[in-house]
Amino acid sequence: MNASIRALRLGLFSLALLGTIGGASGRAQGVTPNVTVRSVQRSLERLPYYGVFDYIVFRVNGGTVSLAGYSFEGRLKADAEMAAKRATGVVEVGNEIEVLPASQNDDRIR
């Protein structure tokens, strides 16, 4: 009798634990793609050094965000990656932003 009660308690504990783990992962995956897209878009729009000569595009595939484009500032590439990582629903970020070299005229002015 004592062994069956112990087995019942262990079974109930296991079910409760699995329900808790399943609920936590369900909430993490419960973010809709539209929410993730809007969150990444807002994060990138608020970058302080994002200028009119920079071009950044992104694509969301599940929890993965792919960044592409070009930038005239090297720090914008790292800032865009960090901003995308902090967005809602993002698990992984692929950064393919190209940092453009200074033009010959820029070098001549310096």
pLDDT at residue 101, as a whole number: 87
Residue type, 11: G
Residue type, 74: G
Nearest to 54 by CA among 70, 37, 30: 70
pLDDT at residue 38, as a whole number: 96
Find out whether 80 and 67 touch, Cβ atoms under 8 Å.
yes
pLDDT at residue 51, as a whole number: 87
**Packing angle, helices 74-86 and 33-45, rounded to 10:** 150
Find out whether 99 and 92 touch, Cβ atoms under 8 Å.
no
pLDDT at residue 35, as a whole number: 93
- Mean pLDDT by 10-residue block, N- to C-terminus, for the chain (110 residues)? 50 44 45 91 93 93 95 92 95 95 73
pLDDT at residue 15, as a whole number: 46
CA atoms within 13 A on the CB side of 52: 0
